[in-house]
């Protein structure tokens, strides 16, 4: 084991308590997209709202929060698109009761349609262009507001070459 560091739990390079100087996990504050975007009514392509992250390291935990104004969320579909272009459907209103507006965290307040666990399992890098795609299928309610007010990612990441001192 020469040249290999051991955490306080005796394991190589990691510490179950996350309080060793070798700890390299960082909980990031959520980042949102400024002003949001209007969702076009009944257009299959919807609207893409990007979020650029410049964090290094692989994601170890992830959730998505959204704040969407919509007259009938059972006519709304939200998809998270990772920087590698992999789509994850987080909300499909077709499976929901009729209600207005959506403010939720996936997973957390609600379970996403597609699990976000593959992002962690593939050791997806945090850095890159993440996109929330919002699609409206409601061809009624002509004058109603449809808008992504804000959205963001709550992530914990394993930084590439980080060191933390015990507090």
In the numeric block, which tokens belong to residue 71? Answer: 């007259």
Position 95 scores a pLDDT of 79
Position 3 scores a pLDDT of 33
Average pLDDT of adjacent 10-residue blocks, the chain of 167 residues = 35 42 58 73 88 88 94 94 97 88 95 97 92 90 88 86 55
Question: 36: closest CA among 66, 78, 79, 80?
Answer: 66
Instruction: Please report the beta strands in the chain, taking only residues with DSSP state E, as ranges in sequence order.
Output: 25-27, 31-32, 37-38, 47-53, 58-69, 76-81, 87-92, 102-106, 128-136, 147-158
DSSP letters along 118-160, please?
HHHHTT-BS-EEEEEEEEE---S-TT---EEEEEEEEEEEE-T
Q: Which three-class secondary structure state does DSSP give residue 74? A: helix
Angle at 148 (CA atoms; ends 147, 152), nearest 5 degrees: 175
Position 36 scores a pLDDT of 84
Give one word for 10, left, alpha or beta, with left for phi > 0 and alpha for psi -120 to 50. left
Position 96 scores a pLDDT of 83
Give this prediction's pTM: 0.78
Position 26 scores a pLDDT of 66
């Amino acid at each position: 084991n020469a040249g290999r560091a051991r955490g306080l739990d005796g394991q190589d390079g990691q510490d179950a308590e996350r309080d060793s100087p070798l700890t390299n996990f960082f909980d990031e504050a959520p980042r949102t997209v400024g002003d949001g975007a209007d969702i076009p009514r009944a257009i299959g392509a919807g609207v893409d709202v990007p979020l650029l992250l410049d964090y290094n390291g692989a994601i170890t935990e992830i959730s998505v929060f959204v704040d969407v104004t919509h007259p009938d969320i059972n006519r709304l579909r939200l998809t998270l698109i990772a920087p590698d272009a992999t789509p994850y459907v987080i909300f499909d209103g077709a499976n929901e009761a009729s209600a207005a507006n959506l403010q939720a965290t996936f997973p957390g307040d609600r379970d996403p349609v597609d699990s976000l666990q593959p992002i962690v399992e593939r050791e997806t890098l945090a850095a890159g262009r993440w996109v929330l795609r919002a699609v409206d299928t409601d061809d009624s309610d002509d004058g109603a507001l449809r808008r992504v007010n804000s959205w963001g990612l709550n992530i914990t990441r394993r930084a590439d070459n980080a060191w933390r001192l015990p507090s």
